[in-house]
């Protein structure tokens, strides 16, 4: 327990903000309120209301809160402490052994969602494949936001697959119409039976180069290495395998979108060009304007628009030569 007595919600919040700020946690107030909400079993808005009123903090909740704040000050991920991570409109179960979904990936999901919705409008249904699904975030976002989408999600790592299975089961229990087929397998070789029939392939694979250790302790010390490092000198060895799988799975005109690091934009476009089977690749931005995804269509029109969507704007000036 901290030296100060955590007897009121306002006082506990002020202590936690100070403690987390001293530990260089990037968003101390948000994290303090989130942890206190978790300890009390309420939402953040209620925490703020109770803090203004300076209501008493029950002793059991104070003990849980203080322990969680100390773990957060040691830079354990906030999502591991609460057990959940938001992604678009979803709340996903996460913890040790699975990559915590990030806000920047929401725009990658948006490109896949927009394309799947266009296909459903045109032909009544769409087949979407999410390679390296991790927690199942992208797959579940597509499945819940695009009625008529049949989504296949592939994950090789046993721990991550377990988290994805939990999230798929929980989502389908609440929304039985959601269709996600979860497969434990190698993203490079799985789903051979779907070759040439898939409308959208989306992926957030490991892509960090071996020497580029993430700066944030939450990532470097807690996200699984298998979800971070893409192998090869450039970190794109796994993405190259994923791209080859996308070329095999997609129908003519089908769309491929893959997340990458902002410094890998040119290399990712070149990777797609060298893989064969795709038209010109473009780079899409995340919501902060950083180049974070490569987008390309499988060769052949099959009713597809000639310009691939690219995460907010076309970015045609970033096309590979």
Question: Is 291 marked as binding a ligand?
Answer: no
- CATH code, 276: 3.40.50.150
Q: Is residue 86 part of a domain?
A: no
Which tens digits make up the pLDDT trace of 127-168?
999 999 999 999 999 999 999 999 999 999 999 999 999 999
Domain boundary among 42, 74, 106: 74
Same domain, 61 and 196: no
- In the chain, how many domains are there? 2
Task: For the beta carbon of residue 221, count every other beta carbon within 10 angstroms.
Answer: 12
> What does the angle CA 145 – CA 243 – CA 257 come to, to the nearest 5 degrees?
30
Residue 204 marked ligand-binding? yes
Instruction: Say whether both 302 and 223 belong to one domain.
Output: yes
Q: Are 137 and 90 spatial neighbours (Cβ–Cβ below 8 Å)? A: yes
Closest by Cα among 275, 274, 282 to 320: 282
Sign (positive or negative) of CA dihedral 294, 300, 305, 307: positive
Q: How far apart are CA 170 and CA 23, in angstroms?
A: 35
Stated length of the chain: 321
Ligand-binding annotation for 104, yes or no, is: no
pLDDT for 212: 65
Residue 104 has pLDDT above 80, yes or no: yes
Does the annotation list 315 as a binding residue? no
CA distance 27 to 34: 11
Residue 304's pLDDT is 45
User: Looking at the structure, do residues 66 and 206 belong to the same domain, yes or no?
Assistant: no
294 CB-near residues (< 8 Å, 6+ apart) = 256, 257, 258, 260, 265, 268, 269, 271, 272, 281, 282, 283, 284
Provide mean pLDDT across the span 22-45: 94
Q: Which residues pair with 256 in a beta bridge?
A: 201, 296
Q: Which domain holds residue 280?
A: 98-318
Consecutive H or E run containing 284: strand 282-285
> Same domain for 120 and 216?
yes
Task: Say how many C-beta atoms besides its own lie within 10 A of residue 40's C-beta.
Answer: 19
pLDDT 10s digits, 40-99: 999 999 999 998 888 999 989 999 999 999 999 999 999 999 999 999 999 999 999 999
Q: Tokens for 89, please give them.
A: 């409109």
Are residues 163 and 125 part of one domain?
Answer: yes
Kindly state whether residue 85 falls inside one of the protein's structural domains.
Answer: no
Segment 228-258, tens digit of pLDDT: 656 677 888 899 999 999 999 999 999 999 9
Q: Encoding tokens for residue 306?
A: 């000639």
Angle at 228 between CA 273 and CA 23, to 5 degrees: 135
**Residue 45 resides in a domain:** yes
* Domain match, 263 and 116 both: yes
- Please say if the pLDDT value at position 316 is more than 60: no
Annotated binding residue 106 = no
91 is a domain residue: no
Q: Is 108 in the same domain as 162?
A: yes
**299 and 155 inside one domain:** yes
In a domain, 189, yes or no: yes
Show Cβ contacts of residue 26 under 8 Å, excluding neighbours closer than 6 positions.
none
Whether residue 82 is contained in a domain is answered as no
Are 69 and 102 in a shared domain?
no
């Amino acid at each position: 327990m901290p030296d100060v007595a955590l007897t009121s919600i306002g006082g506990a919040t002020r202590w936690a903000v100070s403690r987390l700020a001293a530990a260089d946690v990037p968003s101390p107030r948000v994290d303090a309120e989130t942890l206190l909400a978790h300890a009390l079993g309420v939402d953040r808005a209620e925490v703020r209301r109770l803090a203004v009123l300076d209501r008493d903090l029950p002793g059991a909740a104070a003990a849980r809160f203080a322990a969680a704040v100390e773990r957060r000050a040691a830079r354990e991920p906030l999502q591991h402490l609460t057990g959940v991570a938001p992604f678009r409109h979803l709340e996903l179960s996460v913890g040790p052994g699975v990559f915590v979904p990030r806000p920047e990936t929401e725009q990658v999901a948006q490109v896949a969602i927009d394309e799947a919705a266009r296909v459903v409008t045109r032909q009544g249904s769409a087949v979407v494949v999410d390679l390296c699904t991790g927690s199942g975030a992208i797959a579940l976002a597509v499945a819940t936001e695009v009625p008529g989408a049949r989504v296949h999600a592939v994950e090789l790592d046993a721990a991550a697959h377990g988290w994805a299975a939990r999230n798929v089961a929980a989502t389908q229990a609440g929304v039985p119409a959601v269709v996600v087929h979860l497969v434990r397998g190698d993203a490079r070789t799985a789903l051979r039976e779907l070759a040439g029939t898939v409308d959208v392939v989306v992926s957030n694979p490991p892509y960090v180069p071996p020497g580029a250790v993430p700066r944030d302790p939450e990532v470097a010390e807690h996200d699984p290495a298998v979800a971070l490092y893409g192998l090869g000198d450039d970190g794109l060895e796994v993405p190259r395998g994923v791209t080859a799988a996308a070329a095999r799975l997609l129908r003519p005109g089908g769309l491929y979108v893959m997340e990458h690091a902002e410094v890998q934009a040119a290399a990712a476009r070149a990777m797609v060009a060298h893989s064969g089977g795709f038209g010109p690749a473009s780079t899409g931005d995340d919501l902060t304007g950083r180049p974070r995804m490569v987008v390309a269509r499988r060769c052949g029109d099959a009713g597809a628009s000639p310009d691939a969507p690219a995460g907010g704007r076309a970015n045609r000036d970033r096309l590979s030569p």
